[in-house]
Amino acid sequence: MNLHTIASYVPSQFLDNIVQAGTFGETEEFIRKKIGPLRLPRKDPAEETSDIAVKAVRALLARAALATDAIDALVLVTQNGDETLPHTSARVHAKLGLPQTTAVFDVSLGCSGYVYGLQILKGFMQASGYKKGVLVTADPYSKIIDPTDRSTTLLFGDAATATLLSDDGSWELSRPLMCSDGAGADNIVVKDGKFQMNGRQVFNFAATVVPKQIKALLEQEQLSEADIDSYCLHQGSAGILDAIARRFPDVKERFVNKLAFTGNTVSSSIPLLLEDAMEEFNHRKILISGFGVGLSWASMVLTHKEKK
Amino acid sequence: MITIEKIHEIIKTSCPNVDASKIMLEVRLREYDIDSMDFFNIILELQEELGKEIPDEDIDQLRTVASIQDYFKKNTA
């Protein structure tokens, strides 16, 4: 079961992050170099999570020339769904008019959710004999961000993505490495309806465990750092990406930073990068790594089956 | 123990724009254009040097080069 196509929906409305930073006394240079986003896309407040998910899936169906009745399964990664009950993928199912034979369910994960989601959907499809499955990410943090909290409001943008897995996709998925540390769960939480993050602990966590996991994955796959054409890591912040990339001095420039116009879009950040990276003619191997809420982190290598 | 040279090296690695050699022992690091993200990086490197995690409640003890040296004295055998 391979990765076939990715499409996305990034709202056209946005928050000017330089202006927002000014209200906290932060400079444009600090935002550009250490935080990353110049703009933070914002869904319309009247739009629900399922609405942005549907827009991403519709873009995928158009790009892959796929009919809704061809979708055997749809998995939605979100922690900010429409309601507590039902699962938001049920709302997506209805809005897209998917057939009753399509299996849908949600996965509750944050920034590691895309890598976990690929593995969950791949295994589910293989075990069920399915041919086409869609992994959707839609986790609009604008629902939970406290605009007075400088440590989080400068970071997060809204977006949704949809990824088609099928038996005729071009990108093979490696066996991932997936880890958890529930002892650190209090470092990223929603309390009293508001999102809270211990920035230093999250930075520490990401800069410590992610390089180790990437190195272990390369060893598992018998690859060198230079064998990877692009390192598409979760776009936590510019500072976190720099701290991780610094631990790979020989290939530092292959770590992608595209925070400027989307910000940290949680589980959507990796597929937003992949959407572009997969189009690069010379790319044969791409490493993806997500890390965050849980604490949870996961990494995987994607290999183009015809360019190996 | 940690030497002043080693602390300067860590500051240089964490914030290349800062001239670590000009940092006075008792002056707070933030006075030298070291921002919150630079400070996260410095703590990370100090942790690696110390070989154990530095808890959040100890961070206030690491605001100057001299206090970093003191902290290492207290926390290394």
Strand partners, A75: A105, A135
Give pLDDT, residue A166.
97
The first and second tokens of residue A188, run together, are: 């990223």
Q: What is the largest CA-CA distance in chain A?
A: 56
Say whether both A225 and A255 belong to one domain: yes
Say whether both A90 and A193 belong to one domain: no
pLDDT digits (tens, 9 = 90+) for A159-195: 999 999 999 999 999 999 999 999 999 999 999 889 9
Among residues A44, A51, A128, A123, the alpha carbon closest in space to that of A92 is found at A51
Q: Is the pLDDT of residue A308 over 80?
A: no
Average pLDDT over every residue of B1-19: 88
Instruction: From A133, A148, A169, give the residue that closes a domain.
Output: A169
Which stretch of DSSP H or E encloses residue A122? helix A113-128
Say whether both A134 and A10 belong to one domain: yes
The first and second tokens of residue A280, run together, are: 């690069």
Say whether both A207 and A237 belong to one domain: yes
Average pLDDT over every residue of B64-73: 92
Q: Which domain holds residue A140?
A: 2-169
Instruction: Enter the pTM of the model.
Output: 0.94
Q: Is the pLDDT of residue A281 over 80?
A: no
CB contact under 8 A, A30 and B35: yes
The first and second tokens of residue A266, run together, are: 């949680």
Closest residue in A to B43 (Cα) is A204
Contact A77, A136 (CB under 8 A): yes
Say whether both A155 and A176 belong to one domain: no
Q: What is the CA radius of gyration of chain A?
A: 18
Instruction: From A149, A169, A189, give the residue that closes a domain.
Output: A169
Say whether both A149 and A110 belong to one domain: yes
Give pLDDT, residue B43.
93
A–B interface: beta-carbon pairs under 8 A: 33
Among residues A163, A158, A160, the alpha carbon closest in space to that of A60 is found at A163
Say whether both A57 and A18 belong to one domain: yes
Separation in Å, CA of B26 to nearest CA in chain A:
24
| Helices and strands, counts by H and E, chain A | 9, 14
Contact A302, A165 (CB under 8 A): no
Say whether both A139 and A11 belong to one domain: yes
Q: Is the pLDDT of residue B76 over 70?
A: yes
Query: Measured between CB atoms, which of A201, A204, A239 is closest to B37?
Result: A239
Q: What average pLDDT does the structure give for chain B?
A: 88
Cα gap A40→A174, rounded to integer Å: 32
Overall number of domains in chain A: 2
Place of tokens 């869904």: A43
Say whether both A132 and A280 belong to one domain: no
The CA distances from residue B13 to A36, A284, B10, B42, B73, in Å, are: 20, 32, 5, 8, 22
Say whether both A47 and A102 belong to one domain: yes
Say whether both A155 and A211 belong to one domain: no
CA A300-A303-A304 angle, to 5 degrees, is 150
Place of tokens 């009745």: A69
Query: In this structure, are strands A296-304 and A177-180 parallel, antiparallel, or unpaired?
Result: antiparallel
Q: What average pLDDT does the structure give for chain A?
A: 96
Average pLDDT over every residue of A216-230: 98
Q: Is the pLDDT of residue B20 over 90?
A: no
Residue A97 — φ and ψ, nearest 5°? 65, 40
CB contact under 8 A, A200 and B59: yes
**Which regions of A10-72 does DSSP assign to beta strands (E)?**
14-16, 39-41
Check residue A156 and report its DSSP letter: B
Cα gap A260→A38, rounded to integer Å: 5
Say whether both A181 and A52 belong to one domain: no
Our CA dihedral for A85, A87, A93, A99, rounded to 10 degrees, sits at -100
Instruction: From A150, A169, A188, give the residue that closes a domain.
Output: A169
Q: What is the CATH number of the domain that holds A224?
A: 3.40.47.10
Cα gap A187→A111, rounded to integer Å: 14
Find chain A residues with C-beta within 8 A of B53's C-beta.
204
| A280 three-class SS | coil
